[in-house]
Amino acid sequence: MALFRFPRSGVGLMTTLDGQVTIEVEACPGTTTIVVRGELDLATMPFLAAQLARAARDEPGRLVFDLSGTHFMDCGSARLITTAGQWLPDGGRPVIRRPRPGVRRVLELTGLDAHCEIEPLAAGSNRPVICSCHRTIGADR
C-alpha cells in the first residue's frame, strides 16, 4: 500500500511504499527533481513508474533523479529511469544525481549510463542543488 502525504516545506509530493522506497517529487519551472530513498527492484518498479507518469504530465524540460539515498537498483528500474528521457524535449537525457557506487555500477554494466547524465556531488559540498520554487505536481489532475 502506498502512502501519499505532504511533508515539510520544500517538497512537492512525497510517497512511500511499505517502507521499501520513498519518492519525493519537486517540480520547478522547467525542471522536475525526483528524490529516491530505499531500494528500486521488481517490487517497487511499478510504484516508480506511477510517479514518473505523474511527473511527465508537467512536461519538464529537465528531469533529475537524486539517487544518493538509493541503496539498491535493479536493471529494470535503471532502464525505466534512463528511458524517461524519451519524453524530454530536444533529445534531453535524464540527470542522475549522486548515485551510490552500486547504483552507478548497474548503470555502467548495463550500458544505460550512455543514456543519461551522471552528476556527482559538487566538490566540498554534502548537499545537492535544490531548486527554490515549490509546488505540488499532479494534485489537481
- Pairwise pLDDT comparison (115 vs 122), residue with the higher score: 115
| pLDDT, tens digit, 9 for 90 and up, residues 23-38 | 999 988 889 999 999 9
Quote the pLDDT of residue 129. 46
Lowest mean pLDDT of 7-16, 24-33, 98-107, name the range: 7-16
Mean pLDDT of the chain: 80
Quote the pLDDT of residue 28. 87
User: pLDDT tier at 8 (50, 70, 90 boundaries)?
Assistant: very low
Quote the pLDDT of residue 87. 86
Quote the CA–CA distance of 107 and 133 in Å, as a whole number. Answer: 30
Spatial neighbors of 32 by CB under 8 A, at least 6 apart, are: 25, 26, 55, 58, 60, 62, 63, 64, 137
